[in-house]
Amino acid sequence: MAKENYYLMSDGILKRKENTVYFMNKDGKRPIPINKIYSIYAYGSLTFSSQVVRLLAKEGVPIHFFNYYGFYAGSFYPRETLLSGDLIIKQAKHYLDHEKRIKIAKKFVEGSGRNMEKVLSYYSIENQIGNILGDLETCSRITDIMNVEGRMRADYYTKMDQILPEGFKMEKRMKRPPKNMVNALISFGNSLLYSTVLTELYNTQLNPTISYLHEPFERRYSLALDLSEIFKPILVDRLIFYLINKRMLKEDDFERDLNYCLLNDAGRKIFIKEYNDRLKKTIKHRDLNRKVSYRRLIRLEAYKLIKHLLGTKKYTPFIIWW
């Protein structure tokens, strides 16, 4: 039985009866057999008992929590079962060794930049991303690499308005809080992707707090931020263009205040449905010569990083070819 992501959009209660979790809210009671749950995304206030926590922990099911704005707030991250002391030591050594860390960080930015190029080339939009990426070669500090990434993304975001229709222009990137509809979509999508990557990392032996491009601070899983950079153009930006240009999202799907613009409940449901459908979508993998889902691509990226850390194969970032 294939496992599914479950998106809980309203306030409610999670209860357990034997091996079934029930979601209860004002609309009634919905059963979710534990063997069908891959991960849970909670967009409303969620109350649950210790029995539910024990069952989810036993089955390795994470819960990702999002705040009023739809931004990632935290996770229930079950105790890791796929442990490898050897890998964790090597993962930490690659962070502590400046030269090794720099090499990995550059690869993450390279993958991000090449995928942004691919997105723009699909719409025949000229850009400076390739030229900016050339500056990576001389970078010797993480701050220099982050500067290249920032310049690339700035060029990319200015070109996005050429793809978007009137009324949906981004103008400039504004995060906290987003001030217009496209900024709201980017922030919402990036939070969703971060939690998706975190779920995939949980299913590997990697420690999600040891990262290379982003600094590993307390209270965040910074390796998920690293890997998210590669997949943002593919899973978030392309989806935004699709939803807007197909008129699946309209102004009525947003709520505004003086200081922010956010997706409303109806808009969130549309975005999440299409995002989840995209995760399930399959492509024929050129190296594996078989079909894999977009979600699986993220896990494969983590496996490639593991091989690099163990010294069996150098890491090269995933770059779309279609």
Residue 67 inside a domain? The answer is: no
Amino acid at 32: I
C-alpha separations of 228 from 108, 211, 223, 247 in Å: 9, 12, 8, 27
Q: Are the CB atoms for 172 and 134 separated by under 8 Å?
A: no
Number of structural domains found in the chain:
2
pLDDT of residue 216: 85
Q: Is residue 254 part of a domain?
A: yes
Quick check: is 287 in a domain? yes
2 phi and psi, to 5 degrees? -70, 135
Average of pLDDT values for 311-318? Answer: 96
Q: Where are the beta strands (DSSP E) in the chain?
A: 4-8, 12-17, 20-25, 28-33, 37-42, 46-48, 63-66, 72-76, 254-256, 261-263, 282-284, 291-293
- Does 141 share its domain with 235? yes
> Residue 234's pLDDT band (boundaries 50, 70, 90)?
very high
Residue 322 within a domain: no
Asked if residue 270 belongs to a domain, the reply is yes
Mind listing the pLDDT tens digit for each residue in 124-137? 999 999 999 999 99
51 with 197, same domain?
no
92 and 12 within one domain: no
Please tell me whether residues 18 and 92 are part of one structural domain: no
Judge if 146 and 274 occupy the same domain.
Answer: yes
56, part of any domain: yes
| CATH at 210 | 1.20.120.920
Kindly state whether residues 155 and 236 are assigned to the same domain. Answer: yes
- pLDDT value, residue 240: 96
Average pLDDT of 69-92?
Answer: 83
Q: What is the largest CA-CA distance in the chain?
A: 60
In a domain, 114, yes or no: yes
- What pLDDT does residue 70 have? 83
CATH number, position 54? 3.100.10.20
Q: What is the pLDDT of residues 245-268, one digit of tens each?
A: 999 999 999 998 867 888 999 999
As a whole number of angstroms, the distance between CA 225 and CA 156 comes to 19
Same-domain status, 32 and 176: no
The answer as to whether 282 is a domain residue is: yes
Whether pLDDT at 313 is above 70: yes
Q: How far is the C-alpha of 208 from the C-alpha of 203, rounded, in Å?
A: 11
Distance, CA of 233 to CA of 188 (rounded, Å): 14
Q: Is the pLDDT of residue 140 over 90?
A: yes
Helices 181-202 and 265-280 sit at what angle, rounded to 10 degrees? 40
* pLDDT confidence of residue 49: 86
Examine the domain organization and report whether 239 and 171 are in the same domain.
yes
- Rounded to whole angstroms, the Cα distance separating 173 from 68 reads 20
Whole-angstrom Cα distance, residue 192 to residue 189? Answer: 5
Distance of alpha carbon 95 from alpha carbon 81, whole angstroms = 23
- The pLDDT assigned to 2 comes to 78
153 and 37 within one domain: no
Whether residues 179 and 272 share a domain: the answer is: yes
- Same-domain pairing of 189 and 42: no
State which H helix or E strand residue 275 sits in: helix 265-280
Say if residue 83's pLDDT is above 80: no
- 314: Cβ–Cβ under 8 A, 6 or more apart, which residues? 308
Average pLDDT over residues 48-59: 90
What is the SS3 assignment for 13?
Answer: strand
| Domain with 174 in it | 85-310
In contact, 146 and 133? CB cutoff 8 Å: no
Query: 99 and 53, same structural domain?
Result: no
